[in-house]
Every structure is written in C-alpha cells, then in structure tokens.
Amino acid sequence: MATRILPSHPSALPRTHDPNNNGSGCSRSNNLPVRRKAEDHPVLALLDDHRRLDADGIRRIHARMLRLGLLGHPYSASRLLAACSLSPSADLRYARRVFDHIPAPNLFTWNIIIRAHASAPDPRLALLLFSSLLRHSPHSPDKFTFPFAIKAAAELAALREGAALHAMVAKSPLLRSDVFVLNSLVHLYAACGDSNLSLRVFEKIPERDVVSWNSAITALAQGGRWDEALQLFEEMDGENVRPNDVTMVSVASVCGKKGDLELGKRIHSYIERNDIKQSLILDNALLDMFVKCGSLADAESLFDGMTTKDSISWTTMLVGYAKSGQFDAARRVFDEMPRRDIASWNALISCYEQSGRPKEALDLFHESQHADATPDQVTLVAALSACSQSGALELGCWIHAYMEKNNLELNFHLTTSLIDMYSKCGDVDKALHVFGCVSRRDVFVWSAMIAGLAMHGRGREALDLFEQMQEAKVEPNTVTFTNILCACSHAGLVEEGRLYFSQMLPVYGISPTADHYSCMVDILGRAGRLEEARGYVENMPMPPGASAWGALLGACAVHKNVELGELACKQLLELEPRNHGAYVILSNLYARSGRWDAVAMLRKWMKDSSLKKEAGCSSIEVHGVVHEFLVGDISHPMKEKIYLQLEDMASRLKAAGYVPNRKLVLQDIEDDAKEKALYLHSEKLAIAFGLLRSCSPAPIRITKNLRVCDDCHSVAKLVSGIYNRNIILRDRYRFHHFTGGSCSCMDYW
DNA sequence: AACTCTTGAG
C-alpha cells in the first residue's frame, strides 16, 4: 500500500523537459508563438474558476495542455493540479496521476497535493506525501506546507505525528512564529483531545489573530471547559480582536451545551448588534443552541426567517420537537424536509430509542431500509440499542449479520452495543462470542460484558473477566464497578462484593457513588444481613437516595422484615412520593407476612390517591417483528387465537394443580380493579402468543418492563414443563431462564 | 501562486 501511493521518484520519470529551462523551451514542438511564456498561455485562464469546472471540463483542458506540451512546465502543470484537486467535486485519484507525471514538482505543487489530501476522506495520504516530500524532493516544507500537514494530523487525531510536525516547526525561527502554523497546532492538540497543550501553544503566539482566538475557544469548548471558553471570548475584546462569525458559532455551541437560555439570547442579540456576518453555519449553530436551551419558540422563529436551510437546519428542528416529546411534529418536519441524509434518520431513530419507544425506533429503522438509506455506525448503534430495550434478538442478529456482510468496521461503540444487545436479549453466550472475536477492547466493551454476565446471574465469570481486564491494562471506571457489584449481588457473592467495594478508592482511585452504596445495600440485604445493609445506608457520605432505600426495602420484602421495611418505604416515599413500585413492594412484604389487613389498607390508600403506575408491558419478537402486549390487550390481530391458547393454558395448568395466587394480585398491579385480570397479565399473553407462533427447540423470549410477579413466575415455570418449551424472560432487574418446570433465579429475585 | 478556526444524529 505504502509503495503504491508514493509518488514515483521524479528522477525515475522520463525527462521530457529540462526544468532549468524555465518553461519557454517546451513550446518548440507546438504552434505556440516562440516568445510566449507557458504561464501566459490562454488555456490556463480556463483553470482559474475551480468552482465552475466539472470532471469533464478538467479532462478537456488536460488534453489540450498535453497537446500543447504545457504539462512539462512546473508552473502550468501545477495550475492544472490545483484545479483538479481543489474543486468541490475533486477527483483525487485523477489529481494524483497528474501529480505523478509532473517531472520535477516544485514546492507549490507539493503543497497543493498535500493540501488536497489533508481534507479528503483519507488524510493519511497527506502525511505519506509529506514524508515523501522530505525524502524524495530537494525542497524543504515551508510555512504553507505545515498548516496542511498539521491539518491532516488533526483530522486523524494523530498525536504522535502531530507532535513530530510540531518538533520540526520548533527548529525553524521562521516557522515557529508563523501565525498560520501556530493556529494549526492549536487546533491539532484540541483535535487530539488535549486542551491544555492547545492553550500552551495559543499563549505563545506572538501576534494572535481572530483564528488563533477561535481555535483556542473551540479547544476549550470541545474539552468541556465551557466557562473558560466564554471567558476567552470576553478577553478577545481586551486585545482588540473582533469576533467573527466563526467565533460566534463556537460561543453559541458552548451556550447550547450549558443550556443557558438567558445567555443564549444575549449572544443572539450580540450578533445582531455587532453586525457579525451571517452564515448558514452560524444560523444552524444558533438553532441548535435554542433547541438545547429548550426554547422551541426561539428556534422556530429563527428557522422561519432563514432564507437558506440545509439538512442540518431541518434535522436540528426535528430533534427539537422529538426531544420535547412532540413526535408528531418531529415526524412532520422529517416528512417535509427537502433532502434527508442518514443523520436525519439517525436523529429520529435515536430520539425514539432514547425516549423509551424502541418499537417506533425499529419501525423507523425498517422504513429507512426500504427508503434505501444506507445505515452508518450511528444508525446501527441506535437500532441495536432499541433491540436491547425490546428484546428483539432476531433483528439484532440480522443487524450483526448485516455488519459482517458489509465489512463494517466494529468500533468500540458498536462492539459495546452488540454485546449489550445479545446480553439483554437473553443470549449472553453470543455476547461472549462477540467479545472474544474483537482484538481491541476499551473500558466500555469490558464493562458491557461484565454487566451481561451479571444480569444472567453468572457472577463468578463476571469477576474473572474483571481480573482479565486488569491484566489487559484497561483501567476500570465507575460504571465497571457498578457492574461488578451488580454481579456480586445477583450471584450472592457477599465477601467478594465487600472486597471490591473496599478497594475502589484506595486501589483504583474511584470514589464510591450513591449507586455503589446502593449495590452494597442490595448485596448485603439479599443475603439477609439486613442490619449491616441498614448500616451502609445510614453511613453513606452522601444523603441516601431512592435507590439505596429501595434496595433495603426490597431486601426486607424478601426476608420478611416488616418493621425495617416500613422504615425504608417511608424514607423512599419522602424522596419519591409518587413511587408506585414502593407501594407494590411494601404490599408484597405485608402479603408474605400474612398481614392482609395492611394489604387491604394500602390498596385502598393507593386507589384514593389515584397513583398512576407504569403500565406493565411485555414484548416478544417473532420473525423479526416485535409484538407488544399490555394487560388484557385485545388490540392484536390474532387476539382470538391468543385467547383460545390462554384457555388451553389455564386448563392444562389447572390439571397440573395450579391455583392462581389471587392474594398477590397487588404485587405487579397490571390491573388492580379486576382480580381475574391476573391471568391476563401481559407476560401470559406474550407466552400464549409465543406458544402459537414459534416451535421447539427455540426458546420463547419475552421482555417485560416491570418486575415479573409471583403468579406469572409460577405460570412460566409450569408452562416450561407442561409444554416442554424453554422460556427466557427478562424483567426490569434480571433474566429468568425457565426450563423443565424451574427457573434459573431459584425463585429469588 | 496559497494556508489556519465553525453547525445536526452517537
């Protein structure tokens, strides 16, 4: 590869012309007047307007220049080169051939070809060209060459190469004080994620221009140092540098990230008062700022007044509506926009997925396929995440196969999403397979795999993986520890949990957060060490949150400790007065302890306070389509068959001695008004549908948004035995693998 | 003969 893209050594090329002959000698064999210089030839004027030239136009001029013998002349040849590499529709392979045939390229020529590749899809070529300039040409790179080469390094976020270029610059007094070169370096370090280095270069620039300031402000903005970025913007004034439209783009973007509408409006009026040149990019940045600050009204009025709009403008509005829950309006924008690119699709798909509407996200993903929108990595990450949420394993597998078929590169993000999808869709072995196939893993990939093993109750393996992660020298982060503690909790590994928790700060330098404390409460509580768990809650360095009290309440429910349970529930309700789940668990605790009076009282109280609960919903995927069921759902096209199947289930279960557990009807409260609704719980509808539409040995995979109730859990166990079908049920907290009449959670969840 | 900084989806 490297040899193929290197230019031929100039001396290896046939020398048709003597470069020392300064050009005029080449006109011997054609009909140019002898005295005319090559750089004056009228055909060159045709090259002046890059923008209006298309590929054909360039080819024609190229042919004429060949006939005229103009290409042997470095000046005229580079005019052609500039035209074909810098036009908007540049064909760089063509430019490269032109370059390779220029007998003795001068420095200008080298600079043009490096520049063209620096902002092309593969900037590595620019760096390779730069190195062949050093090795194969008599010229040394100058103050024009470096900005292009540094830009290429910035595009690649190639810190090592960038620093090497910086070192070369530092050796030359002329280069190291050149504002263009230094501005490029400010940008380079920012692009490599090092805003400190970036600022250090900025501070050493002798005469900073507006681009210097813009680069530094952007460096701070991208490094998340928003207030410092704004401070720098204020300081420009003091140094008498006038902000321009590019400055304001960065400032607006910072403002959006801070979500500060007050400031946003001040910025907007600053732009108008100071006659900042308006541009499409600036308008888009302002639109985005208003959307991020939550002011759709400001965004709308700006959008309506814009004379030119591109797909970024439209997509920004779309996101504004979708993020505020106005999906109909978002869809309208999507349908109205003149041109949709893949980012527009991604925006809508991601918004659905992030608002907990995975079915809509996947419907839209299917639609994008039919619309011939080629999915990119962002699309696939969003679609995989929607699959994870709804348990759509088949579709997830299809996406995985699609990636392999199209040789899509697995980046860390996609790898993490795939592992997460397989784990959450119940196929943790497939997740392990993906994990084993990738050669490079970052902390998120490792953490996702640990989480996958944890949610399937395979705690030992999760801890083994953590040890391997450290051997691989990947630093764990706060999420890793949440997953490790979660693994300990689901597998009952009390001592291990205690050990890792105690090591967090001293060994790994990670302060335990409220989440980690809650995990410890869960670990100790599940194991029946309620007093110790209570001690953790009471001695947290931060005020205990709902998750800590919730974990304690759950443990009390399992171990039937009414007194402590009531205390935990009271605390929990003080933090979240409308937490429906808290009442459900407390009533569960009362029921298990035989306190039916208290159960009845709670139920009445809940009815009176008209607490709305999250609707229980189970989804099941059959042949790549996700079907959702609510309690007593009659909206499914196959409802008659489903209800017949339910009756069949009921009679066969009854024959096996099953008695519906009416007393626990409050537990999951899919419908607290009708006790008989018990057997219409969404899980049961989904199981019935699964029995109808799929065949052994394929397991029936169901995903439930709430914790599975006692009754559904017993039914699933019985069905797995009576119908000889494996059922894999994911509830809000973990997986249940039902086989031959029993469950992998050992009835402890 | 020319260069450096900017906007939407994750």
| Rounded Cα distance, A106 and A110, in Å | 6
Q: Where are the alpha helices (DSSP H) in A624-739?
A: 639-655, 682-693, 710-722
Domains of chain A and any CATH numbers: 1-139 (no CATH), 358-535 (1.25.40.10), 536-613 (1.25.40), 617-743 (no CATH)
Tell me how many helices (H) and strands (E) chain A has. Answer: 38, 6
Smallest CA–C1' separation from A78, nucleotide: B1
Which token pair is A465? 């993986």
Residue whose Cα is closest to the C1' of B1:
A108
Predicted local distance difference test score (pLDDT) of residue A579: 82
In terms of Cα–Cα distance, which of A689, A682, A726, A690 is closest to A708?
A682
In terms of Cα–Cα distance, which of A217, A273, A277 is closest to A244?
A277
| Rounded Cα distance, A556 and A669, in Å | 20
Q: Which of residues 72-91 of A touch strand B (CB under 7 A)?
A: 74-75, 78-79, 82
C1' of B10 to CA of A412 (Å): 12
Report how far apart, in Å, the C-alpha atoms of A243 and of each of A211, A218, A342 are: 9, 13, 33
C1' of B10 to CA of A350 (Å): 8
Residue pair A503/A529 in contact by the 8 Å Cβ criterion: no
Residue whose Cα is closest to the C1' of B3:
A144
Smallest CA–C1' separation from A318, nucleotide: B8
| Rounded Cα distance, A393 and A426, in Å | 8
Residue pair A608/A617 in contact by the 8 Å Cβ criterion: no
Q: A477: alpha, beta or left, given left = phi > 0 and alpha = psi -120 to 50?
A: beta
Tell me, what amino acid is at A368? S
Placement of tokens 């020298």 in the chain: A473
Count of Cβ atoms closer than 10 Å to residue A27 Cβ = 20
Residue whose Cα is closest to the C1' of B6:
A246
Query: Residue A315, CB, less than 7 Å from strand B?
Result: yes
Tell me, what amino acid is at A8? S
HSE of A462 in the Cβ direction (CA atoms, 13 Å)? 32
A377 Cβ contact partners less than 8 Å away, ≥ 6 residues apart: A408, A409, A411, A413, A414
Q: How far is CA A125 from the centre of its chain?
A: 28
The DSSP line for A43-64 is HHHTTS-GGG--HHHHHHHHHH
In terms of Cα–Cα distance, which of A354, A345, A338, A339 is closest to A388?
A354
In terms of Cα–Cα distance, which of A58, A60, A70, A64 is closest to A16?
A70
Count of Cβ atoms closer than 10 Å to residue A615 Cβ = 12
Strand partners of residue A735: A730
Which pairing describes strands A617-622 and A625-630: parallel, antiparallel, or unpaired? Answer: antiparallel
Helix (H, G, I), strand (E, B) or coil at A522: helix
Predicted local distance difference test score (pLDDT) of residue A748: 63
Q: Which of residues 92-131 of A touch strand B (CB under 7 A)?
A: 106-109, 111-112, 115, 118-119
Report how far apart, in Å, the C-alpha atoms of A249 and of each of A228, A229, A234 are: 16, 12, 15
C1' of B4 to CA of A188 (Å): 10
| Rounded Cα distance, A24 and A62, in Å | 19
Residue pair A292/A256 in contact by the 8 Å Cβ criterion: yes
Residue ranges, chain A, pLDDT below 70: 1-38, 50-51, 611-613, 661-679, 746-749
C1' of B3 to CA of A254 (Å): 27
Cα-based torsion angle of the residue sequence A211, A215, A216, A217 in order, rounded to the nearest 10 degrees: 100
* Chain B bases near protein Cβ (<7 Å): 1-10
C1' of B7 to CA of A218 (Å): 13
Q: Where are the alpha helices (DSSP H) in A527-622?
A: 530-538, 546-558, 562-575, 580-592, 596-608
Query: Residue A245, CB, less than 7 Å from strand B?
Result: yes
Kind and range of the H or E run holding A452: helix A443-455
Smallest CA–C1' separation from A151, nucleotide: B4
Three-class SS string for A94-149? HHHHHHHCCCCCCHHHHHHHHHHHHCCCCCHHHHHHHHHHHHHCCCCCCCCHHHHH
Which token pair is A46? 């045709």
pLDDT digits (tens, 9 = 90+) for A541-578: 999 999 999 999 989 988 999 999 999 999 999 998 88
Share of chain A above pLDDT 90, in %: 64
Tell me, what amino acid is at A399? I
| Rounded Cα distance, A70 and A39, in Å | 9
C1' of B3 to CA of A299 (Å): 35
Placement of tokens 């540094």 in the chain: A150
Report how far apart, in Å, the C-alpha atoms of A150 and of each of A90, A99, A145, A552 are: 21, 21, 9, 56
Report how far apart, in Å, the C-alpha atoms of A391 and of each of A388, A529, A620, A637 are: 5, 34, 7, 21
C1' of B6 to CA of A193 (Å): 17
Which token pair is A444? 């998120």
C1' of B1 to CA of A52 (Å): 20
Cα-based torsion angle of the residue sequence A80, A86, A91, A93 in order, rounded to the nearest 10 degrees: 70
Which token pair is A62? 């190229």
pLDDT digits (tens, 9 = 90+) for A129-157: 999 999 999 999 999 999 999 999 999 99
A522 Cβ contact partners less than 8 Å away, ≥ 6 residues apart: A485, A489, A533, A551, A554, A555
Smallest CA–C1' separation from A154, nucleotide: B4
| Rounded Cα distance, A178 and A182, in Å | 6
Query: Residue A198, CB, less than 7 Å from strand B?
Result: no
| Rounded Cα distance, A515 and A546, in Å | 10
Smallest CA–C1' separation from A142, nucleotide: B3
